[in-house]
Amino acid sequence: MATIVSFVLLGIGILALVLRRDLVIKLLALGLINASSILFLVSIGNRPGGRAPIQFPGETAVLVDPLPQALVLSAIVVNFAILALALVFVMILVERYHTTDAQRIEQEMSRETDEEETPCL
């Protein structure tokens, strides 16, 4: 169930990434895509009747698999880092073009081709 939901969320995210033109919404969609992969990983470790993976000496209860959960912690942080930086770059673009519409930014950019581009080094 959770696995299928994660696939559906991935689909919704991709659609929003493709169809919405606002860069902020695109980033939100990217967040959804990332979240879907995390839900998928957590759902893999889940098993019926398992308990949360906290175990004290002598206990023998069935546990859910802790590994996907540990992996996911790293993935969440990495996704956050990506999002924060992407947001900063969107802010820089908006400073210049005063719009968050991806297509308008691309148009403006091709209009400026004649403008001199100084190489950095």
Which DSSP category does 49 fall into? T
Token representation of residue 2: 């959770």
Residues 17-36 that bind other proteins (CB under 8 A): 17-22, 24-36
Q: Which of residues 95-114 bind other proteins (CB under 8 A)?
A: 95-98, 100, 102-103, 105-106, 109
Residues in the chain: 121
Q: How far is the CB of 113 from other proteins (least distance, A)?
A: 10
| Sign of torsion over alpha carbons 96, 99, 102, 105 | negative
SS3 117: coil
Angle formed by the axes of helices 66-97 and 102-111, nearest 10° = 50
Please give the residues from 35 up to 64 whose contact with other proteins meets the rule CB under 8 A.
35-47, 50-57, 63-64
Least distance in Å: CB of 44 to other proteins? 4
Which H helix or E strand runs over 62? none
The minimum distance between CB 97 and other proteins, in angstroms, equals 7
Residue 77 beta carbon to other proteins: minimum distance, rounded to whole angstroms = 5
Q: Tell which one of 75, 101, 104, 111 touches other proteins (CB under 8 A).
A: 75
